[in-house]
C-alpha cells in the first residue's frame, strides 16, 4: 500500500510540475492568434500600422517580466521555501491574467498585465525544476525533466487550437479574445491550489535544520516511512553537508575568474543565444503571421494548430527514442544544419513564387509549410531540449546554481529581444526573414563543430577534465550506513549525523 501511495503521489507531483511548463507555453502561445482577431484590435483601439508594435510588445513584455524574476526569486525561495514560492508565483500570474482578460480598452493596462504575468511565469520556471528535482524519486527524476519539455509543447499546441476554435465558432466580439486569454487562469489556478496538497521540499527543510519536518515530507512523497526512506533521508543529509563544503566561500566572481568556469559560462550563454537564433521560438510566438507570409491565407490558424501538433509529436518521439541515444553535440549539429536548410528552402520558394492572398494554398505554399513543419520537428529533437541538458551537466556543483541562473536569464533576455524584433522583421523583410534565420542556423553549425564538446555519459570528474578544471573529491561510500538506531553518516573526523528511527 505504501509503495502504491508513494507512486501515486510521485505521479501527482510530476503532473503538477508539468502544469507549470504548460502554463508558460500556453501564455506565450495564445498571443499570436488573438492578435489576428479584429475584435482584439477594435477593443484596444490600435491601427493596422501599429500591429507589429502591439504584437512585439504583447509577447516580449512577458519575457521581460520573466527575465527580472530570475534575479529576485533565488533568495526568496531560499528563505521561504519552494512550496509557498510556487503559490506566490501562481498568484502573481493569475493577477496578471485577470487584468489581461478585462476589456480595459487600454493597451497600457494590457502591457502591464503581461509584465505581471511574466514575473509569475519566470518565478515558476525557476522554482519548479528545483522543487521537482528535490522531491521526485530517483526512478522518475529523468522522466520529470523530459516531461517538462513535452508539456511545454503541449501547452503551445493547446493555445493554437483554442485560438482556432474561437475564431471559427465565436462571433466577432469581445468574448472571442477573452476566452483564450481567460483560460490562462485554469492552469494557473491548478498550479497554485495543487501546491496546497503537497509538502515542502525535503532538501530545503533539511537545510533549515528542520529535520523532523523534512523526514515527514519525505515520508509523505514516498508513501510512508521505512528503512529505505530513512536511508534516503540520511543520504540527503550527507549530500547537504557535502554541498556546504563544496560551496564554502563561493562567489559569483568564480564564474569569470577561474578559466575553466569562464569557458563553460561562455559556452552556455552562447548556446542559450543560439536557441533564439534558430528562429523556432520566434515562429512559435508568431506562427499565424509566419504562415500568412508563406501563403496560408484564411487557413493560418488551422495550420498553426497542426504546427503545434507536429511539435508535440516530435518532442514525444525524442523523449521515447532519442533522448539517451543521440549525443549532445550530434543533436545540435544535425538540428542546426537541417533547420538552416529548411529555412533557406522556404525563403527561395517564397521569393520565386510570391504567395497570392486570393489564390489560397498553392503547391509552393504547401511546400513551404511542409518545410516549416520539418523545421519544428528538427528543433524539438535538438535545440529545444539539448541546451538545457547541457547546461545542467557541465557546471561543477560548486557553481551550478549560479551557472544555471545566468543561463536562464540569458534565455529570457534574448527571448525578449527576438520577440521584439520578429514582427518588425516579418513586416519589413518579408521572405528575407527566412534567409536571416537560415544564416543564423548555418553559423550555429560552425559554432557547435568547433566549440561544443560531447558530454553524454561523462561523470563529473570527466567533465572537469574535459573543460580543464579540477575534479571534486569523491565521497567515500563507506561513510554512509544504516544501523538499528537509524541512518548515519560518519564524516572524516568521526562525527555522525543520525536520523532517529521514529516510532510514531
Q: Convert the pLDDT of each residue in 409-450 to its tens digit.
A: 888 888 888 888 888 888 888 888 899 999 999 999 999 999
Beta carbons within 8 Å of 132's beta carbon, 6+ residues apart? 13, 14, 17, 141, 144, 148
Task: Supply 307's cell numbers.
Answer: 504546427
Exposure string for 178-209, b = 16+ CB within 10 A, e = fewer: bbbbebbbebbbbbbebbeebbbbbbbbbbee
The residue ranges of every structural domain in the chain are 1-198, 256-472
CA gap 139, 221 in Å, rounded = 13
- 1-198 has which CATH code? 1.20.1250.20
Do the two domains 1-198 and 256-472 of this chain adopt the same fold? yes
User: Of the ranges 224-238, 278-292, 296-310, which is most confident?
Assistant: 224-238
Q: Convert the pLDDT of each residue in 357-371 to its tens digit.
A: 666 678 888 898 889
Q: Which CATH superfamily is domain 256-472 in?
A: MFS general substrate transporter like domains (1.20.1250.20)
Q: Please, what is the average pLDDT of the chain?
A: 81
- Name which residue leads in pLDDT, 119 or 288: 119
Residue at grid coordinates 547546461:
391
pLDDT of res. 110: 95
CA gap 461, 273 in Å, rounded = 27
In degrees, rounded to 5, the angle at the alpha carbon of residue 114 between the alpha carbons of residues 86 and 44 is 150
Q: Convert the pLDDT of each residue in 146-190 to its tens digit.
A: 677 788 888 888 998 999 999 888 989 999 999 999 999 999 999
Do residues 436 and 425 lie in contact, with contact meaning Cβ atoms separated by under 8 Å? Answer: yes
Do residues 73 and 125 lie in contact, with contact meaning Cβ atoms separated by under 8 Å? Answer: no
Task: Supply 368's cell numbers.
Answer: 513551404
* Per-residue confidence band for 483, with pLDDT thresholds at 50, 70 and 90: very low
* Residue 501 phi, psi dihedral angles, 5° rounding: -85, 95
Task: Supply 236's cell numbers.
Answer: 540527503
Task: Supply 387's cell numbers.
Answer: 541546451
Return the HEC string of 23-36: HHHHHHHHHHHHCC
Q: Out of 5-9, 233-237, 420-424, 432-436, which region has the weakest mean confidence (pLDDT)?
A: 5-9
Of 328, 343, 349, 368, nearest to 440 by C-alpha is 343
CA gap 215, 203 in Å, rounded = 10
Residue 481 DSSP SS3: strand
CA gap 288, 291 in Å, rounded = 5
In degrees, rounded to 5, the angle at the alpha carbon of residue 283 between the alpha carbons of residues 52 and 312 is 140
Q: Convert the pLDDT of each residue in 39-59 to its tens digit.
A: 999 999 988 888 888 888 888
- Name which residue leads in pLDDT, 337 or 132: 337
* Cα-to-chain-centroid distance, residue 232: 29
CA gap 347, 341 in Å, rounded = 10
Do residues 347 and 438 lie in contact, with contact meaning Cβ atoms separated by under 8 Å? Answer: yes
Amino acid at each position: 500500500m505504501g509503495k502504491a501511495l508513494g507512486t501515486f503521489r510521485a505521479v501527482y507531483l510530476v503532473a503538477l510540475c508539468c502544469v507549470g511548463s504548460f502554463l508558460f507555453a500556453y501564455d506565450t502561445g495564445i498571443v499570436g492568434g488573438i492578435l489576428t482577431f479584429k475584435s482584439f484590435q477594435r477593443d484596444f483601439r490600435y491601427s493596422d500600422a501599429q500591429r507589429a508594435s502591439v504584437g512585439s510588445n504583447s509577447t516580449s513584455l512577458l519575457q521581460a517580466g520573466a527575465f527580472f524574476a530570475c534575479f529576485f526569486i533565488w533568495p526568496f525561495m531560499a528563505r521561504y521555501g519552494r512550496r509557498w514560492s510556487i503559490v506566490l508565483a501562481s498568484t502573481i500570474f493569475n493577477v496578471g491574467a485577470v487584468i489581461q482578460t478585462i476589456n480595459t480598452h487600454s493597451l497600457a493596462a494590457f502591457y502591464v498585465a503581461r509584465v505581471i504575468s511574466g514575473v509569475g511565469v519566470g518565478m515558476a520556471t525557476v522554482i519548479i525544476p528545483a522543487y521537482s528535482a528535490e522531491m521526485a524519486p530517483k526512478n522518475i527524476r529523468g522522466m520529470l525533466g523530459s516531461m517538462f519539455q513535452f508539456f511545454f509543447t503541449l501547452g503551445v499546441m493547446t493555445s493554437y487550437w483554442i485560438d482556432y476554435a474561437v475564431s471559427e465558432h465565436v462571433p466577432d466580439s469581445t468574448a472571442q479574445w477573452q476566452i483564450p486569454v481567460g483560460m490562462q487562469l485554469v492552469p494557473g489556478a491548478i498550479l497554485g491550489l495543487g501546491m496546497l496538497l503537497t509538502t515542502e521540499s525535503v532538501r530545503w527543510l533539511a537545510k533549515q535544520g528542520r529535520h523532523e519536518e523534512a523526514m515527514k515530507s519525505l515520508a509523505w512523497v514516498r508513501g510512508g516511512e521505512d528503512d529505505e526512506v530513512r536511508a534516503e533521508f540520511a543520504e540527503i543529509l550527507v549530500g547537504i553537508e557535502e554541498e556546504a563544503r563544496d560551496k564554502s566561500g563561493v562567489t559569483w566572481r568564480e564564474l569569470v575568474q577561474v578559466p575553466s568556469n569562464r569557458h563553460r559560462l561562455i559556452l552556455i550563454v552562447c548556446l542559450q543565444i543560439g536557441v533564439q537564433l534558430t528562429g523556432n521560438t520566434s515562429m512559435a510566438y508568431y506562427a499565424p503571421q509566419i504562415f500568412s507570409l508563406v501563403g496560408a491565407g484564411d487557413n493560418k490558424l488551422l495550420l498553426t494548430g497542426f504546427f503545434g501538433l507536429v511539435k508535440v509529436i516530435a518532442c514525444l518521439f525524442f523523449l521515447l527514442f532519442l533522448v539517451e541515444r543521440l549525443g549532445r553535440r550530434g543533436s545540435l549539429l544535425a538540428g542546426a544544419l537541417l533547420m538552416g536548410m529548411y529555412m533557406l528552402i522556404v525563403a527561395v520558394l517564397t521569393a520565386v513564387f510570391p504567395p497570392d492572398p486570393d489564390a489560397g494554398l498553392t503547391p509552393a505554399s504547401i511546400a513551404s509549410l511542409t518545410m516549416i513543419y520539418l523545421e519544428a520537428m528538427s528543433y524539438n529533437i535538438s535545440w529545444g531540449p539539448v541546451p538545457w541538458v547541457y547546461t545542467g551537466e557541465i557546471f561543477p556543483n560548486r557553481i551550478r546554481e549560479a551557472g544555471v541562473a545566468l543561463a536562464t536569464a540569458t534565455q529570457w533576455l534574448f527571448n525578449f529581444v527576438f520577440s521584439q524584433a520578429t514582427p518588425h522583421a516579418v513586416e519589413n523583410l518579408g521572405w528575407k526573414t527566412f534567409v536571416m534565420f537560415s544564416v543564423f542556423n548555418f553559423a550555429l553549425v560552425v559554432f557547435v563543430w568547433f566549440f561544443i564538446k560531447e558530454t553524454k555519459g561523462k561523470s563529473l570528474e570527466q567533465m572537469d577534465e574535459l573543460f580543464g578544471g579540477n575534479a571534486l573529491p569523491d565521497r567515500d561510500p563507506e561513510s554512509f550506513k544504516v544501523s538499528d538506531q537509524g541512518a548515519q553518516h560518519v564524516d572524516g573526523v568521526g562525527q555522525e549525523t543520525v536520523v532517529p528511527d521514529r516510532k510514531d
